[in-house]
């Protein structure tokens, strides 16, 4: 049975570049301290925003280090989304590690729309499907994907009750994701929780503004441009949408193309 609400926490922090052990420790400590049902970290948080020498950083989801993190999630009964570089037989993916509240590690959620130099080193994911965390269908959105309405809409049409987005968004694009997170919530009448990073790395300065937006587009909380910390909100995931703004029910796909 679908839960009526989920307590979601988004983390805004600076990962240690190329120091997986330190970033795993930070992630585990945040899980330990969290009272949320689901905690969301920024894109590529376990490695930092790296596009070189990926063979030193990439991990399969079966890596023992991730198993230890899963055990911590099970102890706390907290689900986790954290960005990492996935090692697969065919290459590397910019992906999200998804761990359910019972410690189950799900298949990695692979980024489908790559930004800039990412396309030179990462393979693009080829599916958009909700995952299930805490018994709730959730759409996971990775950074640049937030700027494509089709990504969120596809996840919504496939049954997502909540959109969780993680990012390594940098200047000069800070306003893009503030606008896009609100738009995706309104377009689909789904809450959007967005975790971005801060700090500088690999020639980029990351712009923060992690935020949680309710299904009506109202801002429930936002962190600052350089602020380290987290936001927590209880989000309705089984709410009835008023008929006049039920966008999914009023779609006319026979008119749409391209």
Catalytic annotation, residues: 43, 111, 143
How far is 170 from 199, CA to CA, in rounded Å?
A: 9
Q: How far apart are the first and last CA of the chain?
A: 36
DSSP letter, residue 122: S
DSSP 108: P
Q: Which of 144, 154, 190 is nearest to 8 (CA)?
A: 190
Of 204, 155, 184, the residue nearest 17 (C-alpha): 204
Q: 45, 12 in Cβ contact below 8 A?
A: no
Distance CA 52, CA 156 (A): 34
CA dist., res. 103 & res. 76, Å (int): 9
């Amino acid at each position: 049975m679908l839960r009526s609400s989920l307590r979601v926490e988004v983390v805004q922090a600076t990962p240690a570049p190329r120091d997986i052990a330190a970033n795993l420790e930070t992630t585990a400590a945040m899980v330990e301290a969290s009272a949320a049902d689901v905690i969301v970290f920024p894109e590529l948080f376990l490695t930092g925003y790296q596009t070189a020498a990926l063979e030193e950083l990439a991990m399969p989801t079966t890596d023992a280090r991730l198993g230890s993190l899963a055990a911590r999630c099970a102890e706390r009964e907290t689900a986790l989304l954290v960005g990492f570089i996935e090692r697969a037989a065919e290459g590397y993916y910019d992906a999200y590690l998804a761990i359910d509240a019972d410690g189950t590690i799900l298949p990695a959620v692979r980024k489908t729309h790559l930004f800039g130099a990412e396309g030179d080193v990462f393979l693009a994911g080829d599916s958009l499907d909700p995952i299930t965390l805490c018994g709730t269908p959730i759409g996971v959105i990775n950074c640049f994907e937030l700027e494509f309405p089709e990504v969120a809409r596809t996840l919504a049409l496939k049954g997502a009750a909540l959109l969780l987005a993680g990012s390594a968004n940098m200047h000069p694009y800070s306003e893009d994701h503030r606008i896009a997170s609100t738009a995706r919530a309104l377009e689909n009448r789904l809450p959007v929780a967005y975790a971005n990073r801060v700090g500088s790395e690999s020639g980029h300065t990351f712009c923060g503004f992690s935020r949680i937006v309710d299904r009506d587009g109202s801002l429930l909380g936002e962190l600052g441009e350089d602020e380290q910390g987290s936001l927590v909100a209880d989000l309705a995931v089984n709410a009835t949408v008023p008929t006049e703004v039920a966008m999914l029910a009023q779609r006319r796909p026979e008119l749409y193309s391209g």
